[in-house]
Amino acid sequence: AKREGGNRVRLFQQEMGEQALARQRDKTDLRTAIETGQLVVHYQPIVDLATGAVTSAEALVRWQRPGTGLLGPDAFIGLAEETGLIVPLGEKVLESACDQAVRWHAEGRSLGVTVNVSTRELSNSGFLPRLERVLATTGLQPGRLTIEVTESVWADEPAMRSLVAVRDAGIRVALDDFGTGYSSLSYLQRYPFDIVKVDSSFTRALGNNGRTEGVIRCIIALADVLGAKTVAEGIETPQQADWLRAAGCSYAQGYLFGKPTEAASWDTRTSVAFPS
């Protein structure tokens, strides 16, 4: 029995070693990906629920990994955050997104762009200078850019300071996945946000029971009191869009209006017709 235990330990160590190696390989590959342009940014439309106008686009990163295919962010953002590669990765996404917004503007399309920023990126002291450099080199007006952060920023003081500075620079700030993290009303009132994004888990639960409806109404009312707009995420059905519009939600995003796509195949419609 003792011997068996020893074997198990060795097997365990071997597996650990293999995992560490695989991780090291992924890290090296991700660094190469960032440096050699294997990252691609897809854009998803955000529409004004009152008018159907497409007002902005959310930048969502993907990795065209050789031999593997197109990977979604859930496959590599975690690793990027743990290894610090999120800093150069985020800079690439920001550059692409700002550049794209300027191109759209040049084509006569007035679209804002919204970019996801990890708390880890935001807490890096170079964040604001990089952001300002990207705005300067691309020529994007700060008011056309929104950065999306999650409730985890509240637990990180340097990130919070950075966020305040970002907002002072005229860039809009959105609170992503609202209601799924550690929401704090005290932080919400202390640090102003321009946009509150209602997480798709709420949208998905619409119609299941009256409680979801009540909670969404409360989020919209809360955002209103704080002077913020609301964006509902994950809209897949006309019924969800109708309900959210009637409830006073400002904007919506989801497969009903458009999936994330490359800028090259971006839908050229400037507004969507509501199905009902």
- Rounded Cα distance, 215 and 221, in Å: 10
- Rounded Cα distance, 188 and 223, in Å: 9
With tokens 């609202």, the residue in question is: 178
In whole angstroms, the minimum distance from the beta carbon of 230 to ligand C2E comes to 15
Instruction: Give the burial class of 69: count Cβ atoms within 10 A of its Cβ; 0-12 exposed, 13-18 middle, 19 or more buried.
Output: exposed
In whole angstroms, the minimum distance from the beta carbon of 270 to ligand C2E comes to 20
**Which option in Ca ion, ligand C2E, none does residue 12 bind, with CB closer than 5 to 8 A by kind?**
none
**Which option in Ca ion, ligand C2E, none does residue 213 bind, with CB closer than 5 to 8 A by kind?**
none
269 contact partners, CB below 8 Å, separation of at least 6:
54
Which structure tokens are listed for 229? 């707009």
For ligand C2E, which residue of 37, 66, 72, 238 counts as binding (CB under 6 A)? Answer: 72
For ligand C2E, which residue of 30, 47, 49, 60 counts as binding (CB under 6 A)? Answer: 60
For ligand C2E, which residue of 3, 5, 74, 106 counts as binding (CB under 6 A)? Answer: 74
Question: E strands, the chain, where?
Answer: 39-48, 54-65, 69-71, 112-116, 145-149, 172-178, 195-198, 229-232, 251-253, 261-262
| Among 162, 231, 163, 155, CA closest to 192 | 163
Angle subtended at Cα 156 by Cα 182 and Cα 112, rounded to the nearest 5 degrees: 80
Q: Name the pairing type of β-strands 69-71 and 112-116.
A: unpaired
**Which option in ligand C2E, Ca ion, none does residue 77 bind, with CB closer than 5 to 8 A by kind?**
ligand C2E
Determine, following the binding rule CB under 5 A, whether residue 230 of this chain makes contact with Ca ion. no
Choose the binding region for ligand C2E from 98-106, 124-132, 188-196, 252-260 (rule: CB under 6 A): 252-260
Determine, following the binding rule CB under 6 A, whether residue 93 of this chain makes contact with ligand C2E. yes
Determine, following the binding rule CB under 6 A, whether residue 168 of this chain makes contact with ligand C2E. no
What string marks each residue from 2 to 41 as x (binds Ca ion by CB under 5 A) or -? ----------------------------------------
Determine, following the binding rule CB under 6 A, whether residue 166 of this chain makes contact with ligand C2E. no
Query: Would you tell me which residues interact with ligand C2E (CB under 6 A)?
Result: 44, 60-61, 72-74, 77, 90, 93, 116-118, 176-177, 234-236, 253-255, 260
